[in-house]
Amino acid sequence: MTKRRSQHWYGKLDKDGFIHRSWMKNQGYPDHAFDGRPVIGICNTWSELTPCNSGLRDLAEMVKRGVWEAGGFPVEFPVMSLGETQMKPTAMLFRNLLAMDVEESIRAYGIDGVVLLGGCDKTTPGQLMGAASVDLPSIVVSSGPMLNGKWKGKDIGSGTDVWKFSEAVRAGEMTLQDFMAAESGMSRSKGVCMTMGTASTMASLVEVMGMALPTNAALPAVDARRQALAHLTGKRIVEMVDEDLKPSDILTKEAFENAILANAAVGGSTNAVVHLLALAGRVGVDLSLDDFELGSEIPLLVNCMPSGKYLMEDFCYAGGMPVVLNRLGDKLRSSKTVLGGDISVYADGAECYNDDVIKTVDDPVKPAAGLRVLKGNLAPNGAIVKPSAATDRLLEHEAEAFVFENIEDLKANIDRDDLPVTPDTILVLKGCGPKGYPGMPEVGNMPIPAKLVRQGIKDMIRVSDARMSGTAFGTVILHVSPEAQAGGPLALVKTGDRIRVSASKGELELLVDDAELETRRAAWEPDAEHYMRGYAKLYVDHVLQADQGADLDFLVGKDTRLVTRESH
């Protein structure tokens, strides 16, 4: 048998081996723990500052049970935790830092395989990016969604209903007292958003890409079956080490295409785009923004907020992702999973227990739900829109723009009674891309101007280089690339310019002649940088644009070499 990677640390009968084993023994490990069995790292993003991940400490213990049962040696280690709801300026700024943390921790320590424990939006892609760059056997256990929110006898969903309640308060349709009362009923247990936000989207896509065991996506965080899943995952990672089954064997072009198809079927987050593009860059898969058109004709099957009416707990009880895969059927590509077989095995025998929660291809929530890629002189490298969460009539629209130069401009002026906008106006927000904010925050779903909210207006076209929360909704055009701060055409838009949007044709056009745009470009200067030191400075200097996944340029690809130099 080939010498295990961990034996370069724990198998030597010399000074170096003595040091590696001896210091580990201060935790009470006996001699036979170092007998050559697989050492399994448990990469944990648990943190009390990341409420979504607050249950991962318990799940880690379940993983350890499975590892010990299978004859492995489990060792848990922490990495940076990204609390989407808690971090400023945005958790996305730190996704690549987490990926670096994961990659270097895996590379530097004597482990043979790794279990990735994540949940909150950016933790899952960040962990996968880091693990893929080292390419040791890896598998994911997600923290799972919270239980359904409850308020006044009805279900409410994190994120989605927050936006609705907030707008209702602004419109005078909901009292501040009711708004505050709903807060306590929203988050009733540990876990991620119980809507199909980015966290549950990524958990779903991890499952369909074959990087997690079946049912990973939807089991509630507090359900004992998720603990059992963690136990089985610990057992399986030991077997994967024996089989040398690595991310590069699983994360093929076909796996990414399945993720795109599934993202459409579940009404998944627009954030999946930047995460899948970044992950593809780590494993060397040729994935582009245009590939996301694969999902454009896929029907919306999962009737969950924000594109539907149910929540993740309901999705679980209806059968979860195995049912979705079953109903997608031969639309799925053949691809390998952490179980070693084909992804079709995940769908075998899956039975739906509520056809209103998981609809059929013949009777979907919407007939064509996948993200649409828009291009044109306003977005030469592309932008995206989520039709399943949009107003149909606004997906084909031409109107004058009203421009906010940055987020501070928007906040200062959006509620002005004299704001010169109508329901047809296209709102434009600049300076919120990867470099401009920095970190590309979830502010693309701009508030509807207060004077229009009072008229009952619920949706308008909004265009920006920002992202939006997976729990959000509306006719929101996002990820305009190149961004304004990088000198993209978005930087040149002025209030009063006409913009044409056609989702059916995939077009986003600024109706200003080239000569005028060249005059504007000659006078344009980027905004001053907001961060001039530390990681944020490194990020701004090296971040790629949204159509390339917003990874750092020097992190693209992988390095599987063994570290041979000793520290002693």
Percent of the chain with pLDDT over 90: 90
CA–CA separation, 63 and 69 (whole Å): 10
Supply 314's token pair: 């309901």
CA–CA separation, 142 and 114 (whole Å): 14
Extended beta strands in 450-489, E state: 462-464, 476-481
- Quote the pLDDT of residue 397: 98
CA–CA separation, 317 and 60 (whole Å): 24
Q: Which of 1-5, 357-361, 468-472, 505-509 has the lowest mean pLDDT?
A: 1-5
CA–CA separation, 199 and 31 (whole Å): 41
Q: pTM of this prediction?
A: 0.96
CA–CA separation, 276 and 257 (whole Å): 10
In this prediction, residue 164 has a pLDDT band, given cuts at 50, 70 and 90, of confident
At 286-301, the pLDDT tens digits run: 999 999 999 999 999 9
Extended beta strands in 482-527, E state: 498-502, 507-510
- Quote the pLDDT of residue 3: 86
Question: Mean pLDDT throughout 480-494?
Answer: 98
94 near 87, Cβ under 8 Å? yes
CA–CA separation, 387 and 394 (whole Å): 10
Percent of the chain with pLDDT over 70: 100
Classify the C-alpha dihedral 279-282-283-289 as positive or negative: positive
Give the gyration radius of the chain's Cα atoms.
24
CA–CA separation, 96 and 81 (whole Å): 12
Instruction: Give the count of beta carbons closer than 10 Å to the beta carbon of residue 110.
Output: 19
At 443-480, the pLDDT tens digits run: 999 999 999 999 999 999 999 999 999 888 899 999 99
In the chain the domains, ranked by start, together with CATH numbers, are: 37-148+188-347 (3.40.50.2300), 150-186 (no CATH), 372-527 (3.50.30.80)
Residue with tokens 């896929």: 298
208 near 322, Cβ under 8 Å? no
Question: Mean pLDDT throughout 300-307?
Answer: 95
- Quote the pLDDT of residue 1: 56
Q: Considering the chain, what is the average pLDDT of its residues? A: 96
- Quote the pLDDT of residue 20: 95
Write out the DSSP string of 203-265: HHHHHHTTSS-TTTTTS-TT-HHHHHHHHHHHHHHHHHHHHT--HHHH--HHHHHHHHHHHHH
- Quote the pLDDT of residue 291: 97
53 near 119, Cβ under 8 Å? yes
pLDDT at 531 over 80: no
At 215-246, the pLDDT tens digits run: 999 999 999 999 999 999 999 999 999 999 99
